Structure 1
Amino acid sequence: MNKIFNITNGDCLAEQLKETTISGEMIICREALVAGSLQNENLDVFWKVRSEFIAENYGDTKENYYRKVVSECNKMMQIPEDSEVYLWFEDDLFCQVNMWFCLTLIPKDKNINIYRIFPKESKENQWKGFSDSDRFDLEGALTSKVLFKQKDLELGLNLWEAYQSNHQNKLKQLSEIQSDCFRFLPELIATYQNINPEVFIQNLIQKGITDFSEVFEKFRDELGIFGFGDLQVKLIYDKVFKEK
Structure 2
Amino acid sequence: MLHIVNGDHVGDKLRQGNIRGDILVWREVYPVGPVFVEMGEPGQRSARAEYLERTMGIPRDDYVTKCKSQEQILENFHKYDEVVLWFEHDLFDQLMLSYLLHWFSKRAQGRTKLNLLCVGDYPGIDLFRGLGQLTTKQLEALSGTWQRIGQKELETGSAIWEAYASPDIERHVEILHQDTSALTFAHAALDMHVSRLPSIMNGLGIVEQTIVDLIQHGVNTPRELFQEVGSRLSLLGMGDLEFWYRLRGMSERPSALLEIRGPHTFPDYRKQTTPSFENCEISLTELGLEVAAGVKDWVKLKGMNEWYGGLRLHGELTWRWDPARKQLVHMA
Bin of the TM-score, shorter chain as denominator length: 0.7 to 0.9
Deviations 1:151-172 (A, max 9, x none): 1111011111111114222220
Tell me which amino acid in the other structure corresponds to 1:217. Q
More strand as a share of residues: 2
Instruction: State the Cα distance separating 1:52 from its structure 2 match.
Output: 1.3
> Is the aligned partner of 1:218 residue 2:228?
yes
1:149-160 counterparts in 2 under 5 A? Answer: 149-160=150-161
Moved more, 4-13 or 74-83: 74-83
Aligned to 1:177: 180
Tell me which amino acid in the other structure corresponds to 1:168. H
CA contact (8 A) 1:6 1:86 kept: yes
Q: 1:209 aligns with which of 206, 209, 219?
A: 219
Aligned to 2:56: 58
CA contact (8 A) 1:120 1:129 kept: yes
Aligned to 1:89: 87
Aligned partner of residue 77 in structure 2, secondary structure: coil
1:1-244 counterparts in 2 under 5 A? Answer: 4-39=1-36, 43-44=40-41, 45-80=43-78, 83-106=81-104, 108-111=107-110, 112-119=112-119, 121-122=121-122, 124-126=126-128, 128-165=129-166, 166=169, 167-174=171-178, 176-179=179-182, 182-194=183-195, 196-207=206-217, 209-242=219-252, 243-244=255-256
Tell me which amino acid in the other structure corresponds to 2:116. R
State how far apart, in whole Å, the 2-side matches of 1:221 and 1:58 are: 22
CA contact (8 A) 1:47 1:70 kept: no
Moved more, 85-94 or 52-61: 52-61
Tell me which amino acid in the other structure corresponds to 1:36. G
More helix as a share of residues: 1
- Aligned identity (percent) is 23
Instruction: State the Cα distance separating 1:5 from its structure 2 match.
Output: 0.9
State how far apart, in whole Å, the 2-side matches of 1:41 and 1:191 are: 23
Structure 2: 5+ residue stretches without partners: 197-205, 257-332
Instruction: State the Cα distance separating 1:72 from its structure 2 match.
Output: 0.6
Aligned partner of residue 94 in structure 1, secondary structure: helix
TM-score by length of 1: 0.87
TM-score by length of 2: 0.66
Tell me which amino acid in the other structure corresponds to 1:171. I
Structure 1: 5+ residue stretches without partners: none
Decide whether aligned partners of structure 1 residues 178 and 119 sit closer, same or farther in structure 2, where only a CA change above 3 A counts. Answer: closer
Root-mean-square deviation (CA), in Å? Answer: 2.2
Aligned pairs, number = 237
CA contact (8 A) 1:31 1:98 kept: yes
Q: Mark the structure with the bigger radius of gyration.
A: 2
